[in-house]
Amino acid sequence: MMVEEKVRTSGNLGETLTRGSLHHIQFSDVALEEFDPNHPLQGMDESRPTESIPEYGVLIVGLTGSGKSTFISLLADETVQIGHDLSSCTVRAQGYAATVGASSVFLLDTPGFDDTDRSDLDVVSEIVTGLHILSRSGVSLVGVIYIQRITDTRMSGSSRKSLEILKAICGVPASVNITFVTTMWDKLGPNSDTVGEERTEEMKRLFLAEFIEKGAQVQRHSGTVASARGIVDRILSNNKTVTLEIEHEMIEEGRLLEQTQVGRILQRDLKEQQKEFDVELKEIEQQLLEAQQSNDSTAVASLSEDLERHKENLERLHYPCSQLHYNVQQLGERRAASLGLQPEEARQLSTDVGDDTNDEIRSRIRRTNQRAHSLRQDQDLEIQSFNAQFARLQNEEYYQRRERDALARARRRAEARELERPMAILTVWQHLFRVTYLNPRRSRY
């Protein structure tokens, strides 16, 4: 059986020599796992021919729910999980092989910024780890696609912050390799073209001017396979590989995440969140003190719960901060640990990946595949169970709080009625016997 053999010539994109008849090899659900020393391969079919690693990589970023996974699903050789609401279905960086024209491409899907369950620090860590894996695997990064919903009437604060993070990750010189892709045009309704073009021009003028000035492109995605292929094909036709700023800082210079441009932005945001939490914490503590002084047991119970929940949120804010003190190797080991690999295994795989052949890498990865895949399945089940339990507890807490509030209101109404009864009795007494009385609430003097 003849397989496609590609030889890169003169270092330019798209210049490949094909020998023999073409045999398009379908990747199994390789995702990022096949090339990730810290994330073993899933579902690898040993009976299939040895796959060739794609030549070029494209990083896909954007807000949660903007359509990143949907865009990739139009090109990937495998099934891509797609979310249908504003919660993210991509919890880790995942890679998908695709063939666009004569080139094999690796599309790196990433968790969305402004994710409901992950901080921007977690997202940046996933991006850094994914880029490191591509670099060690010999995949040349040729472009970055930022997905933006055209249905957003204005650029939100989350969108503006994500653009700031994008600029720090890529660096201004890499703008020529960035493509801003607008999605969901079909959801604009009547006069969609006019409305969409106006929003696009406003976005370009107010938020993307610096990127565009340095060579970035803005393209409309119509939601079809042809549209997605055209966008990626244009990136490949530029014949320009790129080293992003974060790669230069962490991979080439060996800096810690906190010492990078994006790391400084994340530290600033975390400090601002810390201040907000501290202010809210003091407010809750003051309200709790007042409730205790007034002997309002219902308010004390409710505010005590709010206080505990707030402290838990504060601890969750502190947890990802440790990543700021990691280098790229440690970020990979942390990721591996979350997938169930032992530190020694992760360190060995990560260290040796650049020195062995692709077949040797795959052989080592296959040896850990079954156990790691099973661990991930167990972990997913545990997460689902926890989420269901947490949702049930939240629901119960909601109704318990409503019941407590209703009881408190009923008690206050009863107390008010008790205060009114003596006055009502005295009024009746005066009316029946024409007795003049002094109001007990007024002073006798």
Q: How far is CA 386 from CA 249, 413, 433, in A?
A: 38, 40, 70
366-373 contacts, C-beta under 8 A, 24 or more apart: 366/41, 366/44, 366/46, 368/40, 368/341, 369/40, 369/41, 369/42, 369/44, 371/340, 372/39, 372/40, 372/339, 372/340, 372/341, 373/40, 373/42, 373/43
Q: Where are the domains of the chain?
A: 5-256+327-355, 274-325
DSSP-assigned beta bridge partners for residue 179: 145, 217
Tokens, residue 157 = 């604060």
In the prediction, which pLDDT does 338 show? 63
In the prediction, which pLDDT does 386 show? 67
DSSP-assigned beta bridge partners for residue 143: 58
In the prediction, which pLDDT does 352 show? 45
Please tell me which residue, 81 or 309, carries the higher pLDDT value: 309
What is the average per-residue pLDDT within 365-379?
55
Confidence label for 329 from pLDDT (cuts 50, 70 and 90): confident
Task: With CA atoms as reference, report the closest residue to 38 among 104, 137, 123, 112.
Answer: 137
Q: How far is CA 220 from CA 85, 209, 239, 381, in A?
A: 21, 17, 22, 38
Task: With CA atoms as reference, report the closest residue to 40 among 259, 363, 396.
Answer: 363
Tokens, residue 260 = 């990078």
| Superfamily for domain range 5-256+327-355 | P-loop containing nucleotide triphosphate hydrolases (3.40.50.300)
Confidence label for 206 from pLDDT (cuts 50, 70 and 90): very high
Confidence label for 359 from pLDDT (cuts 50, 70 and 90): low
Q: How far is CA 192 from CA 22, 146, 344, in A?
A: 42, 21, 55
Backbone φ and ψ for 43, nearest 5 degrees, come out as 60, 30
Q: 10-61 pLDDT, tens per residue? A: 333 333 223 222 223 233 333 334 434 344 333 333 333 334 566 899 999 9
pTM: 0.65
What gap in Å lies between CA 74 and CA 231, rounded to an integer? 12
Alpha helices per DSSP H over 294-357? 297-318, 328-338, 343-352
Q: 96-119 pLDDT, tens per residue? A: 888 888 888 999 999 888 776 778
Task: With CA atoms as reference, report the closest residue to 141 among 130, 126, 155.
Answer: 130
Tokens, residue 290 = 């007042």
Q: 311-324 pLDDT, tens per residue? A: 777 777 666 677 88
Tokens, residue 408 = 């408190």
In the prediction, which pLDDT does 256 show? 92
Placement of tokens 């798209």 in the chain:
14
Please tell me which residue, 7 or 397, carries the higher pLDDT value: 397
